Amino acid sequence: METVSGANNWRLIVRRCGDGIEILRAVTCDAAAALPETVLDLPVTALGRHALAAGDRTAAGEEVHITCGEPPQEGWDNRTLRTLSLPRTLRRVGDYAFLNCAALRELRLYDGIVFWGGGALMNCRSLDTFRLTRVGEEQGESLAYFADELSRELDVTIVLPDGETARLIFPEYREIYEENCPAHHFDYNISGAGYPYHYCFRHKKLRIKDFDALWEAYLAMEHEADTALRLAWWRLRCPAELEIEARQRYTDYLRAHGAEAAAWLLERRDGEGLAFLLRTAELSPEALAQSCELARQQGQTEAVALLLEAQRFRRPAARKRFDL
């Protein structure tokens, strides 16, 4: 067994595959962890079947322990793992690789993975946040895999090769099977306005322009207002590949729901976001007044100052009168 120091605590079982390493088993006690890019001086290129599945599992291979300080003796089962970063060198993910990682909330990875095994995300009930960094002009198929596997709302940040970011909200949809007893079969129904977003891929590749083109149809369907608000907001806040017409449609929505947007930002205590909202969408006097009062109630003095300044600029100039 080899023990090395690293940024996180890992107990690995690996095998050499040509000029790379396949991780057969990886267990951590950390809530946020990043798998190493190299093990035994070779790049990590694959995760094996059940590699990070929660619970006790065994595998035959070389043992490598990575330590960060003095690791605890308990909690080595991936059940508390919430944020996981995958290495840039990774190319393949095996079947059921993250099975039953119920606490896993966020996955950070590079868009160079060419194979995802069946059920890789099975029972990852909390997983809804992804940060996907593209490594070249050729787009991978990872995002299409996530959108197909997970019908829940997804919060996806795409980092483009030039460093620009697009943050996309894929709204939730639900697949419902209802037993039809007289006909002796199950009826399959889809509800929720998010289905078109999860399947807006062409040949498993996403064109952000196609994502933006779904907006008006989404609003025409029964949808969650808070989801629409966040979708429009993040598209404007991280606007990579956002075209002028789509930008205007999102801006119009935020302007029409200015009070709700400001309340959401005040709840998050996002002063920079509030300033961006006031610059981007011209809020109505009523929305400004309502937001200002809410900020006062919450004791957010900087937000109050921002809103008062916006009110001053929106207030019509007093007409001068000269009485003779």
Residue with tokens 């267990």: 27
pLDDT at 187: 66
Q: pLDDT tens digits, residue range 284-315?
A: 999 999 999 999 999 999 999 999 999 887 66
**What are the structural domains of the chain?**
1-127 (3.80.10), 128-242 (no CATH), 257-315 (no CATH)
| Residue pair 158/165 in contact by the 8 Å Cβ criterion | yes
- DSSP secondary structure, 110-133, as one string: ETT--EE-TTTTTT-TT--EEEEE
Distance (Å, rounded) from C-alpha 242 to C-alpha 280? 14
Percent share of the chain, pLDDT over 90? 81
Whether residue 318 is predicted with pLDDT greater than 70 in this model: the reply is no
Q: What is the pTM of this model?
A: 0.91
Q: pLDDT tens digits, residue range 264-276?
A: 999 999 999 999 9
Could you give the 3-state DSSP secondary structure of residue 297? helix
Q: pLDDT tens digits, residue range 43-82?
A: 999 999 999 999 888 889 999 999 987 777 777 999 999 9
pLDDT at 68: 85
The mean predicted confidence, pLDDT, of the chain is 92
Residues 6+ apart with CB under 8 A from 45: 17, 20, 21, 22, 89, 90, 91, 92
